[in-house]
Every structure is written in structure tokens, then in C-alpha cells.
Structure 1
Amino acid sequence: MKNIFLTRLAAAALLVSLASSCDKLLDVKPQASLPAETALTTKQGVEAALIGAYDAVQSGNYWGLRYILFADMGADNVRWTGTLPSFQQINQNNITADNVELSSMWSSIYSGINRANYVIEAAGALSDPSYTPATAIAQARALRAFHYMNLLGFWGGTPEGYNKPGGVGVPLRLTPTKDISDAQIAPIPRSTEQQIIQVINDDFDYAIANLPTAYTSANNQNRGRITKNAAIALKARFALRNGDYPTVISLTAPLRDASGNLPLSANYVDLWALKNQQESIWELQYDATDANSIAFYWYPTANGGRNEVDPATGLPAAHETGDKRLPVNVNSSPAGTTQKFSRVTGDDNVILVRNGETILNRAEALARVGGVANLTEAVKLLNLIRVRAGLAAYVLTPTATDLTGQTGLVAAILKERRVELAHEGHRWFDLRRTGTVLSTLTGVTQPFRVLWPIPQREVLNSSGTITQNTGY
């Protein structure tokens, strides 16, 4: 009887907290609370839990600040200028297992996984003829895949990259933790990277098969939900990270228009000066009431911020002369900021997936596979990005050591990624997947530091069930 009570109490508490805090991401207005006996057993309850599952993504310990920031700050796009020692460790790639930022981010991601698991289980068990659960399950499975992909990004794989022999994974939870009994919260060992990869791909496949291409609602109330195209683009990102280039090519082919292009905003800056532009595929929704802290960490104290980070000293030089992206990525007024996050009140949206990235993903995959047709299309796609930035078109240039120009083209695409996607949470993972962390970042001299340490409390509290990454 005790466990039944705890289960109901936990479910009710979860649903109340989710429903009351999740307006940040979606414009849906859920019920403030539901009785314990109906929580997650009605379509209204499942929908409220689904919105709560989305809400987990926009936490300040996740994509509302830390995940997107650390992916550039641990690399060479952002530098630490503030007072937080935990940030300093990440910027200097000298992270200890007791770093509070890692613990907070790890916990937030697993909270998101648990919320997604709740929806998957509850929607599948719902017996309501007026409700079709597949769409809710598809959204939750896409979110779960996204979470596990992000966990592998920092904590999985090998020092040489991702999807390599011997790659390590993370603990894999596919059912919800419903109460506080020992059986529910008992630690589980880490799965292998390959096991996590399989789950991620299976979840994305289900999502792609069952998600709509768009959601219809009055006043854009469903803006912020993940769509079929977003799931496709995310799976393509994951495939690129794993070196599965043919899959990237096949996945992104249907996303092109009749001209073989993907829609881009006419002006690069408009993606952030405005909101929800055509190029954006999946975008977190924020306002001044339900805000994030990204610009606050970027901006000087004189402008209402805390001046914790600014663009790395090498980032301006990574831009070519005349690049229209430079003043966006490295803002001069106020100095040391970025126009991608300029609202200190916290109402900048966060773009999780956009066509600019997908274009470069496809271009790189085509270039790496090679062949005349693939190289030709890769150059065309690369130049969509370059021309918008006000730069000269790239010309494929064969040499005596690069007979087709393939090697030079891949290098040009990787160079373009750094500036096109600056401050958007990609740089660290690009360096990791290409095996260039040590050759690019002078501060990383020990290969084991390419993988972050599992939070110390997770290892200690599990009595060794969860093993630490080598070297920590």
C-alpha cells in the first residue's frame, strides 16, 4: 500500500510541477494540476506530461545555458572571463569529477529522460478511443533520443572520437522512475556506446515515422514542438557525428526543395534579431517572464549581465575579410558579446536545429563520400552558406596531392562550420568527431580529457556500479 501511495504522490507531484512550469517552451496552456487518480491516465494528463517533457530541455542546466555554452567554451569559440571556478575548469579543460556544472547538467538530462519515459509508458497504456497516442509517443521518443545523444556528446565514445571500437556509453533507462523505493532508484551500470547508439536510432526512426511535418493550432500555440523534419535533421546530425555519411545523405535528401536547396533566411542576423524564422527547424520559446540566462552570462555588468564569458580571442580571425557573420558572432557594442544572445531580460529563443547546419551536414557527408556528382553538390551547398555571408564562392581546386579537390573541400566545410555555427553548441562535438581536440586546443594535452568525467556523486552513490571514465 505504501508503494501505491508513493507512486500516486510522485506522479501527481510530477504532473503539477510540469504543468505549472512548462509554458517556457510551448505556448500551450496546460491545466495547473490534476487529481492523483487521473494523472497520466487521461489524454489531458498525458498531454500535460508531454509539455513537461519539453520543458526539461530549456532548463538553465541544459539548453537554457550550460549545454550550449560549454560546447563552445570547452573548445575555441568562447573564453571564460568571470568568477566561477567551475566555468574556469571547463574553459581550461581541467575538469574534476566534483565540478558542480557537470552534476547539474547530468541530473537535468536524466530528468528529461525520465519525463520522456513517463509519456511513452502512459500514452501507450491509455485506453481512450478519442486519443491517438502515436504522436505523443513519437515526440517523447525524439526527446529521449536527443537527451542520450547529448549525454554521449560529452561523456561517451573514445578519446579518438565517436562510434569507435571500445566506445563507452552512459546508464540507459528506458522506463520511468515512479517512486522513491530502492528498486526504482537503484543505480544501473553504463551501457556501451553501441547500445546507446542503437536506442537513439530506434527512437528517431519511430519519431520520423509518426511525427507530423507541422502542428496546426490557433496563435501558434504548438510552436516549439518537434516535427518530422526536426527529427530527421537530428538523426542526420547524429549520423554525421558517428561517421555514417551515407545515412546523412539519404536522410537529408527529402528536406531539399525543388532546386535541391534548403530554405535559408536572407540575412544571417535575422535568425536571432527576430524569432522563428523559416530556416529554424526546432526552436525553444522564451519570453521575459519565462526566461533563460544566456545573454546575462555574456553581457557586461554595466549592461545588466555578469560578464562570465566572451568570444575567444581566435574567433574573429576565423572569419574571412568581409564576413557578415563576424559582427553577429563577435559583437562590438557592447564589446565581448554576441548578437545571437542579446536580450539580457532572457527572452532570446534558442535554436536547436536549423537549415544552415543541415546544409553543412549534407555538404560534408557528400564531400567525404566523394565522386564527381557528390563533390559538385557539396560545393553548391557550401556556397549557399558562403554567399549569404557575403563571401566569394568556393571553387573546387584539385592539386597534385588532392587530385579531386576532396580533401580541400572537407577542410573548407569544417572551417565554415566553426563560424556559421559559432555559439550554437556544436564546436566541441565537431572537434571530437574529427579526432582533432588535441591538435586544435593547446590546453588539452592528456587524451583522457576528451571525455568528461562522470559526476563524482554518481560514481560514489552507486558504490562502483557506475564506473568512472578513464583518467579521473
Structure 2
Amino acid sequence: MKNIKVYISIMLALLVLPSCDEYLDVKPADTVIPETMEEFRALMTRAYYLVPAENSKLTMRTDEVKFYRWAWENDIASYKDIYLWEDETPAPSTLSFGWQSFYKAIFYANHIIAEGSEITDGTKEEVEQLQGEAYLMRALMHFNLVNQYASHYDLNSSATDKGVPVSTVIDLEANYVPSTVAEVYGLVESDLTKGLALLNVEEYELGKNYRFTKTSANALQARVALYKNEWENALASAKTTLAIKSDLEDLNNSESLIPSEYNSKESIMALEEGIHAAVVNSVFVSDELMGVYDIDNDLRFAKYYSDNGSGSYVVSKGGDDKFRCTFRTAELYLIAAEASAQLDKLDDARDYLNQLKVKRLKPDFYSTEVARIAGMNRAELIKEILTERFREFAFEGHRWFDLRRTTQPEIIHVFGDETVVLQQGDPRYTLPYPQEAINNNPNLAN
């Protein structure tokens, strides 16, 4: 991770760029126009750097955490209203979600897409790889935006459901109005197709593995299809990704890494930050999350959590810059398992699930799990796969989206004497547009 930070610092120093602090609202000044491959690569590095760190904030909204009232005062001030889903009138100290940063990253990606063909040096392969990364950046940013600030994709209503503004050109005089959910997904899928046609790197070396590659593009394609319940497409993209990279950390090996570390065997793309130290220091593992592990036989439990001495557990996979993960192979195994189960390919679903479990469980317990899973019907198997996602991806930012795309269950959060209930199907499963963005762009209020 030190290599990544040094590389970003060096590349950012090569180019002075506008901050675009009010992108979609005001025009940036003193724009420097890049011309060389080095300058365009620095522009792309700037886009990577701007990707917002949302995992901490999204995790605080889930059933993974218990916020304890004797946490540091500053941590309480930053996260309490997120934990209690107080989105309409949060305290001024509450951390903001990354609306503006998403659009900043899109701004730079748009410039590379529009102007990258004018690069004065660099090979054809280098230019295509760079532009492919820009298309993938634009796809991922719009995908994350629509899944935070719009209702979950529904085939029957997505053509009319309000989404988020789509930004594909550098036109700072344009009227940015929200597109429908279907239109946003349409752009995401179009950019994925265009980007995949240009990308030619399958895997970057450590220190540059925050960048998009053919492998991570296929992983994103699988995730997009999963969120749309397009099971055939999800399975195909997951299989394509696993054909390129299928390694898993074997937790039976004492030297194994936590799988979400940037340099683990599983890492496909190490871009997005893990949860911050403020969250690690402010929450216990919830009773709901504790309850899905066999504490004695699931090797993840001792790897992912530690006893704080009071009988409560705190998370170990966070609070350090080494925890950076946007895609890793375990996700593709579980996408393939879920899609196979939904398609009634139950033996295939069990096989994908067990390929992960054998790397996570003690051998004797794994044998009993194989027998248990063999007796499951389709509905039971799908439920087990979703529970496995809960175990595997805890505190990595997946849980909020898994809750949104499945049952949107009731969640109860308690802080001191205050108890707040997120009802099943609650509108608060969708974040509101930031008030600052509405103030600056009245089109968002319509």
C-alpha cells in the first residue's frame, strides 16, 4: 500500500488540475490542458484518488454494527446520525456521503474519453488502456451513485424511477437533470462494453493494482448483472473473471492474509478504502453478524474479529491503509453461486459455494457443511449463499447493497437511550440527494 500512495503522490505532482469543487454547479478556473501520455495518466490517477471512501459510512447503516456510546466524542459526532439513519437533518458534524467526489472523478474520466485520442506520445496500446480505464471509472462512479441515491433496479419500474444525473461530456453550462434508473444502468453497461474493448492489461503489479484491468472490468460486469437479477449474464461474467483469476486465500494456512488486503491472493482491484479507524474504534460486531458464524470452526471469525476483553468483539479488517478492495475473487465465486442457484443449476451453485467454504472452514467442519448444503432445496441454498456473503464480506461495504437488493429487512439501532427502527422497505434504504447539491442545482429538487 505504501507503493500505491507514493505512486499517487508522484503522479499528482506532475499536473496541476482544477479542483472542480462544485462540479455540476460552477465552472472550474485555470484549467491546465494535458497533452502527453504522462499528463493524461496523471489525470487518470487524479480520478482514482478522488473515488470517495463510502464503506465506513455505509457499514454504519447496516445490521453489522453496534455503536457504543463511550466511543471517542469526535467519532460519535461524525457517525451517530448515519448510524441512526438521520438523513434529513443530520448534525453539522456528520460526515457527508460522496456525491460531489463521484462527479469529480467522472469529470476527469470524461476529459480522458473526449481528448485521449489527442495524446502526443504513447503507444496505441497505452492510449487504449488509459481510455478503457476512463470508461470503467465513469461506469463504476455512475453505478455507485445510482445504488446509493436511487431505488434499487426494478425491471418493472426502472424506466420511470428517478435516478441520478448522467454526465458524459464536459459541458459546464449544461442543465444536469436526474436520469431514470434504467438510463443510468444503460450508460453503465455501454461504458463497460466500450471500456472492455479498449483494455489490454489483465493484471497490474502491486502498487498499481488500484487501476482498472480486463479482469476488474469483467468483475464489475458481473456485479452489475447481479444487481439487475440478470442471472445468465451474471454467471457468464463471473465465470469469465474466474477463468482469468481464481485464487483464494486459504485461512487454514497460518500465513494467509485477510482477503480484503490490497496484496492478498484474491485482490482483483485495490481501489476503494476499507473502513476507517474511527469505525473500528467505535463499534462492536452486532449480535446478528455474530450469529451467522460457527465461532469455533469458521476460520474467518478469529481472522476478521478480536475480543476486546469485555466479551464483545471488534473488527480487525479495517483501520489500516492496507485494506483496499473494490473487487476480489471471493465475490465472483458467490456471484456464480447465487446466479447458478437462481437458474436452478443447484449442483453448480453448491460447487461454487463449497470452493469458497473449503478455504474458510476447518476441514472436519467443512465436511459437515458439504453434507448440510447437499440437502438444501433451491430456496434454502439461495438463503445460504446470501448468508455466506454476510459472513465473507462483513465490514467491506457490500452489506448495505445486499440488504437493498434483497429483502430490505427491518433493522434496529440503539444508541444510549435512543432506539431507531429502519422499517422493512423503508425509504431510508435510499440516500437523499445532498441538500447542498439541491441548493446549487434546482433541477435535483424536481
TM range (shorter): 0.7 to 0.9
Structure 1 CA distance for aligned equivalents of residues 196 and 330 of structure 2: 20
CA drift of 1:325 comes to 1.1
Amino acid at match of 2:439: L
Cα gap change, 1:376/1:389 in structure 2, threshold over 3 Å: closer, same or farther? same
CA drift of 1:55 comes to 1.1
Q: Which residue of 2 aligns with 1:200?
A: 188
Cα gap change, 1:25/1:431 in structure 2, threshold over 3 Å: closer, same or farther? farther
Amino acid at match of 2:278: Y
CA drift of 1:226 comes to 1.4
Tell whether the 8 Å contact from 2:166 to 2:178 is kept in structure 1 after alignment. yes
Structure 2 gaps, min length 5? 17-29, 414-420
Structure 1 CA distance for aligned equivalents of residues 167 and 85 of structure 2: 29
Name the TM-score, length of structure 2 as normaliser.
0.81
Structure 2 CA distance for aligned equivalents of residues 34 and 255 of structure 1: 34
CA drift of 1:266 comes to 1.4
CA drift of 1:336 comes to 4.2
Cα gap change, 1:185/1:24 in structure 2, threshold over 3 Å: closer, same or farther? farther
1:66-465 aligned within 5 A: 67-81=54-68, 82=71, 83=73, 84-85=76-77, 87-96=79-88, 103-126=96-119, 128=121, 130-132=123-125, 133-158=127-152, 162-165=154-157, 166-176=160-170, 184=172, 187-214=175-202, 220-257=206-243, 262-267=246-251, 270-271=257-258, 275-284=262-271, 294-299=275-280, 307-321=281-295, 322-333=297-308, 336-343=313-320, 347-370=321-344, 374-390=345-361, 391-392=365-366, 393-395=369-371, 405-434=377-406, 436-439=407-410, 443-445=421-423, 447-463=426-442, 465=443
Tell whether the 8 Å contact from 2:261 to 2:267 is kept in structure 1 after alignment. no
Tell whether the 8 Å contact from 2:258 to 2:304 is kept in structure 1 after alignment. no
Report Cα offsets for 1:214-262 as digits up to 9, x if no partner: 3567xx453322111111011111110111111101112223359xx93
Greater CA drift, 190-199 or 114-123: 114-123
Tell whether the 8 Å contact from 1:102 to 1:455 is kept in structure 2 after alignment. no
- SS of corresponding position for 2:291: helix
Cα gap change, 1:147/1:99 in structure 2, threshold over 3 Å: closer, same or farther? farther
- SS of corresponding position for 2:350: helix
Cα gap change, 1:170/1:378 in structure 2, threshold over 3 Å: closer, same or farther? same
Structure 1 CA distance for aligned equivalents of residues 12 and 305 of structure 2: 42
Tell whether the 8 Å contact from 1:156 to 1:193 is kept in structure 2 after alignment. yes
Structure 2 CA distance for aligned equivalents of residues 296 and 198 of structure 1: 37
Report Cα offsets for 1:389-447 as digits up to 9, x if no partner: 21433447799xxxx8111110110111101110111011111111x123456821273
Structure 2 CA distance for aligned equivalents of residues 53 and 122 of structure 1: 15
CA drift of 1:130 comes to 4.2
Tell whether the 8 Å contact from 2:270 to 2:324 is kept in structure 1 after alignment. yes
Q: Which runs of 4+ in 1 moved over 6 A?
A: 35-38, 396-399
- SS of corresponding position for 1:389: coil
Tell whether the 8 Å contact from 1:298 to 1:310 is kept in structure 2 after alignment. no
Structure 2 CA distance for aligned equivalents of residues 441 and 433 of structure 1: 19
Greater CA drift, 425-434 or 312-321: 312-321
Amino acid at match of 1:357: E
Question: What is the aligned length?
Answer: 403
Structure 1 CA distance for aligned equivalents of residues 325 and 351 of structure 2: 24
Structure 2 CA distance for aligned equivalents of residues 102 and 332 of structure 1: 28
Tell whether the 8 Å contact from 1:23 to 1:29 is kept in structure 2 after alignment. no
Structure 1 gaps, min length 5? 1-21, 178-183, 286-291, 300-306
Tell whether the 8 Å contact from 1:97 to 1:455 is kept in structure 2 after alignment. no
- SS of corresponding position for 2:269: strand
Q: Which residue of 2 aligns with 1:8?
A: none
Name the TM-score, length of structure 1 as normaliser.
0.76
Cα gap change, 1:25/1:155 in structure 2, threshold over 3 Å: closer, same or farther? farther
Q: Which residue of 2 aligns with 1:18?
A: none
Tell whether the 8 Å contact from 1:236 to 1:248 is kept in structure 2 after alignment. yes
Q: Which residue of 2 aligns with 1:12?
A: none
Amino acid at match of 2:11: P
CA drift of 1:312 comes to 2.1
Amino acid at match of 1:422: A
Structure 2 CA distance for aligned equivalents of residues 366 and 293 of structure 1: 29
Amino acid at match of 2:65: V
Tell whether the 8 Å contact from 2:258 to 2:303 is kept in structure 1 after alignment. no
Greater CA drift, 230-239 or 311-320: 311-320
Structure 2 CA distance for aligned equivalents of residues 274 and 138 of structure 1: 25
Structure 2 CA distance for aligned equivalents of residues 410 and 198 of structure 1: 27
Amino acid at match of 1:209: A
Identity %: 24
- SS of corresponding position for 1:466: helix
Cα gap change, 1:168/1:441 in structure 2, threshold over 3 Å: closer, same or farther? farther
CA drift of 1:458 comes to 1.5
Q: Which residue of 2 aligns with 1:5?
A: none
Structure 2 CA distance for aligned equivalents of residues 145 and 273 of structure 1: 22
Tell whether the 8 Å contact from 1:40 to 1:46 is kept in structure 2 after alignment. yes
Q: Which residue of 2 aligns with 1:302?
A: none
Cα gap change, 1:176/1:98 in structure 2, threshold over 3 Å: closer, same or farther? farther
- SS of corresponding position for 1:169: strand
Tell whether the 8 Å contact from 1:316 to 1:330 is kept in structure 2 after alignment. no
Tell whether the 8 Å contact from 2:150 to 2:163 is kept in structure 1 after alignment. yes
Report Cα offsets for 1:299-324 as digits up to 9, x if no partner: 4xxxxxxx333322322112124211
Structure 2 CA distance for aligned equivalents of residues 433 and 90 of structure 1: 20
Structure 2 CA distance for aligned equivalents of residues 407 and 45 of structure 1: 52
Tell whether the 8 Å contact from 2:81 to 2:87 is kept in structure 1 after alignment. yes
Tell whether the 8 Å contact from 1:190 to 1:467 is kept in structure 2 after alignment. no
Q: Which residue of 2 aligns with 1:10?
A: none
CA drift of 1:68 comes to 0.9
